[in-house]
Amino acid sequence: MEVAISVRNVSKVYSNNIRALSKVSFDVYKSEIFTLLGPNGAGKTTLIRIIIGQLEPSEGEVYVLGVSGRDFLKSDVRLKVSYVPQENIIWRNLTVEENLYLIGSMYKIPRRVLKEKVKELLIDFELFEVRKRLAHKLSGGMERKLSIAMALINDPEILILDEPTAGLDPRARASMIASIEKLKKLGKTILLTTHIVEEAERLSDRVAIINYGKIIDIDAPSNLKTKTCGIEVLELLFKELNNEILSKVTSTIHEKNIARAGDKIVIKENNFNEVIENIRSNEYLSSKILALSVRKSNLEDAFLFLTGRFLRGE
Which residues contribute to the site for other proteins (CB under 8 A)?
49, 52-56, 73, 78-79, 81-83, 85, 87-89, 91-94, 98, 101-103, 105-108, 134, 154
Q: Minimum distance between the CB of residue 167 and other proteins, rounded to whole angstroms? A: 14
Nearest CB to other proteins, comparing residues 73 and 294: 73
Nearest CB to other proteins, comparing residues 98 and 232: 98
Nearest CB to other proteins, comparing residues 93 and 242: 93
Burial class (CB in 10 A: 0-12, 13-18, 19+), 162: buried
Q: Minimum distance between the CB of residue 123 and other proteins, rounded to whole angstroms? A: 23
Q: Minimum distance between the CB of residue 91 and other proteins, rounded to whole angstroms? A: 6
Find the distance separating the first CA and the last CA of the chain, reported in whole Å: 38
Q: Minimum distance between the CB of residue 154 and other proteins, rounded to whole angstroms? A: 8
Q: Minimum distance between the CB of residue 187 and other proteins, rounded to whole angstroms? A: 20
Q: Minimum distance between the CB of residue 72 and other proteins, rounded to whole angstroms? A: 9
Rg of the chain taking only CA atoms, in angstroms: 22
> From residue 12, how far is each of 60, 61, 112 by CA, in Å?
9, 11, 44
Nearest CB to other proteins, comparing residues 94 and 246: 94
Nearest CB to other proteins, comparing residues 102 and 166: 102
Nearest CB to other proteins, comparing residues 44 and 78: 78
C-alpha 158/C-alpha 3 separation (Å) is 11
C-alpha 295/C-alpha 222 separation (Å) is 15
